[in-house]
Chain A
Amino acid sequence: MLQRIHDLYDELERQRVMLSFKGALSPELVTALLGIVERKMEGIEPDARTRKRVFNVVMECLQNLYHHNSNLRLKDGKAESTTDPHGVVMIAHLDQGYQVLTGNFMAGSEVETLKGHLDRINALPPDQLREFYRETLADGTYTKNGGGGLGMIDIARKSGGKLEYGFVPYDKDNAFFSLNVNVTT
């Protein structure tokens, strides 16, 4: 066990992890995590625009994690229901920018819709992505959390790159969703 602590430290150091968290999320915890990100960014990133972009991406990713969550966690290799949304987040500082990784269980029935949405976003160049954002903003419909499907578009706009994602089917009702967003400087 003691060796594993060193290995964990070593691994986090090698990956240049600024922050990592796994577990139950609450609005208060999201606020606290954002506070840590903001303070750390002030210390390491001289460019204000990049600092804001990273903060924005982390905020949207955490709120996605919070809202689109099937409230499951793995315990001894088995899925177990939880009262709070569960997930994992890791933010790393790389040579070419910042990497924001998130993962959570979500409803399997929503996988195809999300995949289609992400593929559509990834196929658009920046000016058309902005147009897609405007159209989605203007269409007047709300999703249940008020975002109206703008979250991923905004994340892609702020990242300036493609959204890398993956789904791991878990059981007949749930899948694990992984998202890797790179904010390049």
Chain B
Amino acid sequence: MSALFLEGSPKTPHVNFDPETGMLELKGRSIPENSIDFYKPLIDWLDKYGRSPKSKTALHVQLEYFNTSSSKCILDLFKKLEGVRATGNEVTVLWHYEADDEDMLEAGEDYAGIINIPFKMIQIEEVDGKKQ
């Protein structure tokens, strides 16, 4: 299967899902009016990936902002990965947050409390998605 690459925009994140390395990235801002349209291809991709995943999958989430319309879609991405983990593969979510952004850290903790995947909280200086 091929990689999924989407350039970031003022309202949608940069996406880079690489099936060869198992390295998945979601970076920038996720604030579209209709998140379901944006996330459908990502969910579909993960659905396919889940049929023959790498033994190790890492999803890097580095969001500066996300709206509540994106929240449930992001949860759905995690649920797909939960399925990948349930079949005996190693899956990690690396949740990046800016040093002064306690709200983003809390948002990561909220997901970690719902989803059965190990989360690593990673403090960073500044989200580079802003400059994209």
Contact partner of B72 among A53, A130, A146, CB < 8 A? A146
Q: Across the interface, which residues of A come within 8 angstroms of B103, CB to CB? A: 49, 52-53, 56, 157-158
Q: Mark B91-132, 1 if CB is under 8 A from A, else 0.
A: 000000010111100100011011000000000000000000
Contact, CB under 8 Å: B101 / A134: no
Q: Across the interface, which residues of B come within 8 angstroms of A52, CB to CB? A: 65, 101, 103
Least CB distance, A114 to chain B, in whole angstroms: 15
Query: A137 on the interface (CB 8 Å rule)?
Result: yes
Contact, CB under 8 Å: A134 / B113: yes
Contact partner of A63 among B36, B67, B106, B114, CB < 8 A? B67
Q: How far is the CA of A142 from the CA of B69 in the complex (A)?
A: 9
Q: Across the interface, which residues of B come within 8 angstroms of A97, CB to CB? A: none
Contact, CB under 8 Å: A147 / B36: no
Query: B10 on the interface (CB 8 Å rule)?
Result: yes
Query: A31 on the interface (CB 8 Å rule)?
Result: yes
Q: Mark A28-41, 1 if CB is under 8 A from B, else 0.
A: 00110011000000
Contact, CB under 8 Å: B65 / A137: no
Interface residues on A, range: 20 to 34
Query: B31 on the interface (CB 8 Å rule)?
Result: yes
Contact, CB under 8 Å: A147 / B98: no
Contact partner of A49 among B31, B102, B110, CB < 8 A? B102
Query: A154 on the interface (CB 8 Å rule)?
Result: yes
Q: Across the interface, which residues of A come within 8 angstroms of B36, CB to CB? A: 142, 145-146
Contact, CB under 8 Å: B31 / A59: yes
Q: Across the interface, which residues of B come within 8 angstroms of A35, CB to CB? A: 10
Q: Across the interface, which residues of A come within 8 angstroms of B69, CB to CB? A: 63, 145-147, 151
Contact, CB under 8 Å: A137 / B31: no
Query: A43 on the interface (CB 8 Å rule)?
Result: no
**Closest Cβ neighbor of B106 among chain A residues:** A130
**Closest Cβ neighbor of B37 among chain A residues:** A146
Q: Across the interface, which residues of A come within 8 angstroms of B67, CB to CB? A: 59-60, 63, 147
- A31/B113 contact (C-beta < 8 A), A146-B34, A146-B72, A146-B73 known: no
Least CB distance, B101 to chain A, in whole angstroms: 6
Query: B3 on the interface (CB 8 Å rule)?
Result: no
Contact, CB under 8 Å: A48 / B33: no
Query: B68 on the interface (CB 8 Å rule)?
Result: yes
Q: Across the interface, which residues of A come within 8 angstroms of B11, CB to CB? A: 27, 31
Contact, CB under 8 Å: B110 / A134: yes
Lowest 8 CB-CB distances: which A-B pairs, in order?
A150-B68, A146-B69, A48-B100, A146-B36, A147-B68, A146-B35, A138-B114, A147-B69
By a beta-carbon cutoff of 8 Å, the part of chain A in contact with chain B is 27, 30-31, 34-35, 48-49, 52-53, 55-56, 59-60, 63, 66-67, 130, 133-134, 137-138, 142, 145-148, 150-151, 153-154, 157-158
By a beta-carbon cutoff of 8 Å, the part of chain B in contact with chain A is 10-11, 31-36, 65, 67-73, 75, 98, 100-103, 106, 110-111, 113-114
